[in-house]
């Protein structure tokens, strides 16, 4: 059984992906790593958990060696809004963290790395409708800058696979929506917060304009897609950087209308803030046909199916 490490295991993606990986590889074969947050009980009890910082290469090396790790998911990252508040920290965690992971992987015989990119790799000069796989990458956020630079690093090492023997894989995630893990500091966070507020208070004030269309995805699709990409035969993968990865696109108004079908009393207001500018620089809809062609990506959840599942599960979680 492969030895796997998830760095950023308590984050938005990590907290669900780590549990799935432990089901797949066995709890003891998946090391969960976080910098400072507390591990949830389920994670603490189902396998090894460690605390160190992705910017500390020596700590990473010791841990990778100790566990004989073969596959690393390097998910530690600051999201778009937090990255704008502290661009230097974003550069260190998002980009130096990735380079450290690559360096340690090469020194310690790790075979495969997964690293998340984002729709934030695109910018205002990118076509916003059906954004192609290969297009202009001129982001206006530090988060986006770290994603483009990271994609280029992956492209470099994958291009020179004969020399380095390291297999790096990546997805440009859209906004991710889950009832389990709440995001923090992202531009697409409204699409999670709206559900909690709709159930708790019956109303929500959205920080984006009602017509702001963004690419989004329900977390079960995102987790399954990530595992499918990691399992795909390397010779099928034609993208050496990061794959466009899409499911649904909607506006806050469309999401509110869908929620109203199940919670008719729900009321939404709009008070756009500085996050609007970030959202306006990102695509509305992504063309992910290359992922569908190369490794058979297919999403399952549309807006209606996701909304129903979110409301049912948050109600259970909050006992409402
Ligand atoms: N969900 C992220 C954000 O909003 C995009 O990758 O920052």
Q: Helix or strand or coil: residue 107?
A: helix
Nearest to 126 by CA among 282, 1, 270, 303: 282
The answer to whether 274 and 80 are in contact (CB under 8 A) is no
Does ligand 1 lie within 6 Å of residue 283's CB atom? no
Q: How confident is the model at residue 168 (pLDDT cuts 50, 70, 90)?
A: very high
Residue-level pLDDT at 131:
98
Q: Under CATH, which architecture does the 4-176+218-244 domain have?
A: 3-Layer(aba) Sandwich (3.40)
Separation of CA 192 and ligand 1 centre (Å): 12
Look at residues 302, 3, 278 and name the one whose alpha carbon lies nearest to residue 147: 278
247-265: average pLDDT: 98
> Which superfamily does 178-215+247-319 belong to?
UDP-galactose 4-epimerase, domain 1 (3.90.25.10)
Structure tokens at 238: 């034609």
Reference 306, options 245, 253, 262; nearest CA is 262
Instruction: Kindly list the domain boundaries of the chain, sorted by start residue.
Output: 4-176+218-244, 178-215+247-319
**Structure confidence at residue 184 (pLDDT):** 86
Does ligand 1 come within 6 angstroms of the Cβ of 100? no
pTM for this structure? 0.97
Residue 182 pLDDT > 90, yes or no?
no
- Do 262 and 308 meet the contact criterion of CB atoms below 8 Å apart? yes
Mean pLDDT over all residues of the chain? 97
Residue 143 annotated among the catalytic residues of the structure? yes
Nearest residue to 267 (alpha-carbon basis) of 175, 198, 213, 166: 198
Q: Are 207 and 271 spatial neighbours (Cβ–Cβ below 8 Å)?
A: yes
Using the predicted structure, report yes or no on whether residue 183 has a pLDDT greater than 90. Answer: no
Q: What is the residue with the minimal CA distance to atom 1 of ligand 1?
A: 175
Q: Which strand (E) or helix (H) includes residue 60?
A: helix 57-67
pLDDT tens digits for range 52-98: 999 999 999 999 999 999 999 999 999 999 999 999 999 999 999 99
Secondary-structure breakdown of the chain: helix, strand, coil percentages, each rounded to the nearest 5 = 50, 15, 35
The whole-angstrom separation of Cα 299 and Cα 177 is 14
Distance CA 297, CA 8 (A): 25
DSSP string computed for 185-217: S-SSTHHHHHHHHHHHTSEEEESS-TT--EEEE
Q: Which of 73, 143, 157, 218 is catalytic?
A: 143
- CA 228–ligand 1 middle distance (angstroms): 22
Residue with tokens 């490490």: 5
Does residue 141's CB lie within 6 angstroms of at least one atom of ligand 1? no
Cβ distance 33 to 5 under 8 Å? Answer: yes
């Amino acid at each position: 059984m492969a030895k796997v490490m998830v760095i950023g295991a308590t984050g938005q993606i990590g907290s669900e992906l780590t549990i799935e990986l432990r089901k797949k590889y066995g709890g003891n074969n998946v090391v969960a790593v976080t910098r400072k947050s507390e591990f949830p009980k389920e994670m603490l009890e189902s396998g090894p958990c460690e605390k160190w910082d992705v910017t500390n290469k020596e700590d990473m090396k010791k841990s990778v060696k100790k566990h004989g790790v073969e596959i690393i998911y390097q998910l530690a990252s600051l999201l778009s809004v937090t990255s704008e508040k502290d661009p230097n920290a974003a550069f260190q965690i998002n980009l130096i963290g990735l380079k450290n992971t690559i360096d340690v992987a090469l020194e310690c015989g790790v075979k495969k790395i997964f690293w998340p990119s984002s729709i934030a790799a695109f910018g205002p000069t990118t076509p916003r409708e059906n954004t192609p796989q290969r297009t202009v990458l001129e982001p206006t956020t530090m988060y986006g800058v770290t994603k483009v630079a990271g994609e280029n690093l992956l492209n470099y090492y994958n291009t020179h696979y004969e020399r380095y023997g390291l297999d790096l894989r990546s997805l440009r995630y859209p906004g991710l929506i889950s009832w389990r893990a709440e995001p923090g500091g992202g531009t697409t966070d409204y699409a999670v917060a709206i559900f909690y507020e709709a159930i708790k208070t019956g109303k929500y004030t959205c920080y984006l304009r009602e017509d702001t269309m963004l690419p989004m995805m329900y977390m079960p699709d995102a987790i399954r897609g990530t595992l499918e990409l990691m399992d795909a035969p390397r010779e099928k993968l034609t993208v050496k950087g990061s794959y466009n990865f899409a499911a649904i696109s909607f506006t806050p108004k469309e999401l509110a209308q869908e929620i109203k079908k199940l919670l008719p009393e729900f009321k939404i207001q709009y008070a756009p803030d500085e996050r609007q500018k970030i959202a306006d620089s990102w695509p509305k809809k992504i063309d992910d046909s290359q992922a569908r062609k190369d490794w058979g990506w297919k999403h399952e959840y549309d807006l209606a199916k996701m909304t129903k599942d979110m409301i049912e599960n948050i109600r259970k979680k909050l006992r409402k």
